[in-house]
Structure 1
Amino acid sequence: MKFTRKTFVAAGSAFAIAALVTACGGSGQVGQSNDSGGQPAQNNKKLTLIPGVQAEPFYISMQCGAEAEAKKLGYELNTSAPQKFDAAMQTEKVNALGSAPPAGLLIAPTDDTAMLAPIQQVKNRGTKIVEVDTALKDTGVAVSSISSNNTEGGKLAAQTLAKLVGDKPGSVLVLDTIAGTSTTNARAKGFEDELKNFPNLKSAGVQFTQNEPDQAASKVTAALASTPDLVGIFATNLNTGEGAATGLRNAGKIGQVNLVGFDASPSEVEGLRKGEYQGLIAQDPASIGQQGVQQAVAALEGKPVQRNITAALHSITKDNMDANQQYFYKQQC
């Protein structure tokens, strides 16, 4: 629900409105707006996490890490996730914070440009903004940005795939999500750049799937028909990976074309164990959520804040997966 802030509200009325919003289940945040920009109340211990999409193990793992750290530091964290990785849907979640903004907002922008205006509006109300996983092009909005080095992740994926393929020559397809998604676009670029270091491998190009598994499956089906020497596929996230595995399964090419995915969701880990994937590049989303809360709280309490933080990445294959179980993503906290 979106609320309209009056030009001037007396302190007592503002408190009553904030209490009413909370009681009615509006945004679930306790705050206070005023005529100087809607600053959250000084004793506001509310944080909000708006991830890229709901029910995705990467973001669930991030939420688990953030919730645990918030509780440890004496704050309460509420999560509000869009149904799809979509800027319009995420904007609705941001706008729903209304005139009772949280003290801190942890957000994974679904578009590095389109999400600028709604996030800026929340910042203008006094909320501290921390970017988790993805980031805006405008670096002046967030106090801190925590993410994996996605370019390096793409390079690690190329190195992993090259090791799996060996000396065999052939083409490699990259499946990306949506143009304008900072993380996956960086992974694709890092992969393409690193692939040039392996003369037996050539790029079959980058194709966008709109983060839909069925589109990824269709792209793989088409690539298998048009590129007979296809020896590898790099899928830049969970949905593209699952779609790519489906496309290979439908074509009877499981194990014949090496599939390297990004992330380590339960379905991807099971796929690696069964031989549907040959490699995974795992992030550490719980650590990203944990550090996101730490930076938000530091900013709120006037302590030093680190503007950019890089989380670790890990190359996982069937041979080393049992030794890397701590990096497998969760389905629930």
Structure 2
Amino acid sequence: MKKIFKLVSVAIIATMAMGVFVGCSSSSNSSSPSKKSDSKKIGMVVSTLNNPFFVTLKDGAEAKAKELGYELLVVDSQNDSSKELSNVQDLLQKGVSTIILNPVDSDAAQSSVSQANNEKIPVITVDRKSNGGDVICHIASDNVKGGEMAGNFIKEQLGGKGNIAELQGTTGASATRDRGTGFHNIVDADKNLKVVSSQPADFDRQKGLTVTENMLQSNPDIQAIFAQNDEMALGAVKALSTSGKKAVVVGFDGGDDAKKAVDSGELAATVAQQPDLMGSMAIENAKKILNGESVDKEIGADLKLYVKAK
């Protein structure tokens, strides 16, 4: 009997030990609950903060967030779509309630939007669209209209005849596509206007300078240049100055540096956006979404042509 009792005791102890082990194992393998979003915390992903336009966009959003009592977490994608996706993932981990996305590339942005969609976090895009995913609201200037404004101004300045060069923005960005579409709506319709060169310079001042230098070597008789943003336009102005050539240069954005260049006569005009207003509008609409209010799918910010005062 003693032997039988001893064997039963050992079996019971072993069974209890296994139960404890299984319980610990189950606990260690269980997935941790996802972080809950904070209704007062908003994430903002900016394509690059190495561009005055997007710095102003950020400043406008920060000012409005402070006014309305929201914490705004701003991250810089450094013109890298993979960095953008990583930024969105980090913000989701930090529990943001909404993501304001200024995409690097409209096609690649759908991965970032989908990440937020999976976590049921609403997305607002600003300035550039995402070509996929569920975006609640898009806030931007009418870039097609702005391109048309630039085309009409150049046509007027050239007297309806001349050779034109175009500096394109980042390939794949909706702003690049739309500004180019508007511009070509005007100049391609007139057989006396000829776009002799159209090349990307990635919305970058230094690249704008280098690309313009190459354009001038290949096409020395360029009378006008449309740059799809101010940074490239200012690069083009420097290239013209270095080469001793003159041309009508029109930028796009209406940044402070560009306005100063217009006032000094270096730049003919800039299609002026209001990035601070767009940033502010993004926060206002984020608040509406979080409060359960409806918002428009597309919201436009006014444009105007900035030229030297006479």
TM-score range normalised by the length of the shorter chain: 0.7 to 0.9
Partner of residue 19, structure 2: none
The counterpart of 2:256, out of the listed 266, 274, 277, is 266
The counterpart of 1:142, out of the listed 135, 155, 161, is 135
8 Å CA contact 2:146, 2:303 repeated in 1: yes
Determine if the alignment matches structure 1 residue 297 to structure 2 residue 294: no
Give 3-state SS (helix, strand or coil) of 2:91's partner. Answer: coil
5+ residue gaps, structure 1, are 1-5, 10-32, 321-333
Deviates more, 1:94-103 or 1:109-118: 94-103
- TM-superposed CA distance for 1:282, in Å, is 0.5
Query: What are the superposed Cα offsets for residues 107-166 of structure 1, whole Å, 9 maximum, x if unpaired?
Result: 11111111211331123223211001111112x421100001111110011111122222
Aligned amino acid, residue 65 of structure 1: G
Structure 1 residues 210 and 62: alpha-carbon distance in aligned structure 2, compared to 1, 3 A threshold: closer
Partner of residue 17, structure 1: none
Partner of residue 229, structure 1: 221
8 Å CA contact 2:197, 2:215 repeated in 1: no
- TM-superposed CA distance for 1:39, in Å, is 4.8
Aligned amino acid, residue 118 of structure 1: S
Determine if the alignment matches structure 1 residue 166 to structure 2 residue 159: yes
Partner of residue 18, structure 1: none
Structure 1 residues 170 and 75: alpha-carbon distance in aligned structure 2, compared to 1, 3 A threshold: same
Aligned amino acid, residue 92 of structure 1: S
8 Å CA contact 1:184, 1:237 repeated in 2: no
Task: Give runs of aligned pairs for residues 19-58 of structure 1, distance below 5 A.
Answer: 34=34, 39-41=36-38, 44-58=39-53
Task: Give runs of aligned pairs for residues 183-202 of structure 1, distance below 5 A.
Answer: 183-202=175-194
- TM-superposed CA distance for 1:315, in Å, is 0.3
Partner of residue 29, structure 1: none
The counterpart of 1:283, out of the listed 265, 270, 273, is 273
- TM-superposed CA distance for 1:196, in Å, is 2.8
Aligned amino acid, residue 224 of structure 1: L
Partner of residue 116, structure 2: 122
Give the alignment's TM-score, normalised by structure 2: 0.84
Counterparts of 2:47 and 2:154 in 1: how far apart (Å)? 27
Partner of residue 107, structure 1: 101
Give 3-state SS (helix, strand or coil) of 2:76's partner. Answer: coil
Partner of residue 23, structure 2: none
Query: What are the superposed Cα offsets for residues 294-318 of structure 1, whole Å, 9 maximum, x if unpaired?
Result: 2111111111111111111110111
The counterpart of 2:89, out of the listed 92, 95, 98, is 95
Count of residue correspondences = 282
**Higher helix fraction (1 or 2):** 2
8 Å CA contact 1:132, 1:145 repeated in 2: yes
Counterparts of 2:88 and 2:44 in 1: how far apart (Å)? 10
- The higher relative CO (CA closer than 8 Å, separation ≥ 6) is in 1
Give 3-state SS (helix, strand or coil) of 1:89's partner. Answer: helix
- TM-superposed CA distance for 1:55, in Å, is 4.0
Give the alignment's TM-score, normalised by structure 1: 0.79
Counterparts of 1:225 and 1:99 in 2: how far apart (Å)? 51
Partner of residue 326, structure 1: none
5+ residue gaps, structure 2, are 1-28
8 Å CA contact 2:203, 2:228 repeated in 1: no
Aligned amino acid, residue 54 of structure 2: Y
Q: Among the aligned pairs, what percent are the same residue?
A: 27
